[in-house]
Amino acid sequence: MIKAGVIGLGKMGISHCAILNAHAGVEFVGACDTSKLLRWGLGKYSKLPVFDDYKKMIEQARPDCVFIATPTSSHFEIARYCLEQGVNLFLEKPCCLNYADTSTLRELSESKGLLIQVGYHNRFLGTFREVKRLVDAGEFGEIYHFSAEAYGPVVVQEQKETWRSKRSEGGGCLYDYASHVINLVDFILGDIEHVRGTQLKSIFSKGVEDAVYAGLILKNGTTGNLSVSWSEESFRKMSTRIAISGRKGRVEANAQEIKVYRNKSENPEDKAGWALSYLTDCTEPVDFYLRGEEYSAQVDDFVRQVEAGTRQSVNAIQSAGETDRVIELLIADSGRGN
């Protein structure tokens, strides 16, 4: 049994509270937010202990781990404090607003022997995990190109100013939709080393980009296109896709399905052509379901790691934190830094 708390009660924070509170291996020791309304709601209608100050929560509740789901601009300060207090972290994505801060957190966690896991839930989605397995197993031979996309309808008309319209607060498509896709490329295909021809386009937003288009070059030489927009009204909800071409075949996948094409080969035993598989073929059941198996699965994995004192998470900052480095590359390449 481990003790867990949550800092920041927005959409992700509340969702983590529910999953943790329903988790058989977790004692839920505190939910923290600056909003009076939220503290009142949780305090009055649930049995969860509530706090108005995260330092107080850590001092009084002594959690083994906390989930940080505050606006990105506050991640660094809160995360550093928690690490100094010896607390393991589940950090919502992206880690920080600059790679230097992310690196500081990573180093601090390593010196303290603590885990920081980042909330890029695509790494726990059955279809994308299966794609990674197939790529690693060499099913498509040497990979030479990929295309990674995400589209959805977050900002589809001009809006008044919110935190979403300020990059300094973590607003913009790059920190949001695009970070997920960058992280997914890193997960399935490897480290991104260079970026080229980056377009950060404002479509409806004033201060930030609504779309990110770029060429990516991986350390292993593979090239690919990144194409992301949250201003696509034509999509009902966020839809993430990756297509990968190798010398022996091709794979196209999204959250629901995987289409594999195997090239004809000299070996007549090989089955050439298209093969389809679905989420239902590669999804493990969870004990408690809230918004998708992947949200529960990432929490399960984190809880297991903390319980065992290990840091082998697929989304540990050592790997997931590299997304912040790529985001900086994209901003620099676009000439739209501020």
Partner 1 sequence: MDRVIFGDNQFFGVDHLSDDKARQKEQRFKDTREIIRVLDFAHEAGIRTFMCTTYGRIEEICEHFRNNPAKYADFKIYPCMPYAHKYANAVTEMGIGGTLRHFTGGVMGSIARGGMAVVQRDAFKMMQMLVDAEMSMFKGVNTGVIFLQNVVTDLLLGLGMHDFFYEFSEYVQKKYDAEPGYITMNLPRTVDVLHGLGIENPIVCASINKIGFRMSGGLEANEQALAEQKVRAIAMQVYAAGALRPQEALEYICPQQGIESIMFGASSKDHIEQTYELINSLSPEA
Strand (E) or helix (H) holding 143: strand 143-151
Taking the CA of residue 98 as centre, how many other CA atoms within 13 Å lie in the half-sphere pointing to its CB?
A: 8
Which one of residues 4, 14, 317, 327 is an interface residue with partner 1 (CB under 8 A)?
14
- Positions 191 through 250 that interact with partner 1 (CB under 8 A): 236-237, 239, 241
- Positions 291 through 330 that interact with partner 1 (CB under 8 A): 291
Q: Site mask, partner 1, residues 251-280, x = CB under 8 A?
A: ---x-xx--------------------xxx
Is 41 near partner 1 (CB under 8 A)? yes
Binding region for partner 1 (CB under 8 A) out of 30-38, 114-122, 192-200, 210-218: 30-38
Taking the CA of residue 259 as centre, how many other CA atoms within 13 Å lie in the half-sphere pointing to its CB?
A: 8
Tell me 176's DSSP state.
Answer: I
Instruction: Compute the least distance from the CB of residue 285 to partner 1, in Å.
Output: 6
Structure tokens at 81: 């404090």
Binding region for partner 1 (CB under 8 A) out of 46-54, 189-197, 209-217, 328-336: 46-54
Instruction: Compute the least distance from the CB of residue 141 to partner 1, in Å.
Output: 27
CA distance 163 to 72: 10
Yes or no: say if 139 and 190 are a contact pair by the CB < 8 Å rule: no
Which one of residues 111, 269, 271, 285 is an interface residue with partner 1 (CB under 8 A)?
285
Is 22 near partner 1 (CB under 8 A)? yes
- Positions 139 through 168 that interact with partner 1 (CB under 8 A): 154, 159, 162, 164
Q: Is 62 exposed, middle or buried (0-12, 13-18, 19+ CB in 10 A)?
A: middle
Instruction: Compute the least distance from the CB of residue 278 to partner 1, in Å.
Output: 5
Nearby residues of 54 by Cβ (< 8 Å), 6 or more positions away? 7, 32, 66, 78, 81, 82
Taking the CA of residue 105 as centre, how many other CA atoms within 13 Å lie in the half-sphere pointing to its CB?
A: 35
User: Which residues are at the interface with partner 1 (CB under 8 A)?
Assistant: 9-11, 14-15, 17-19, 21-22, 35, 37-38, 40-42, 44-48, 154, 159, 162, 164, 236-237, 239, 241, 254, 256-257, 278-281, 283, 285-291
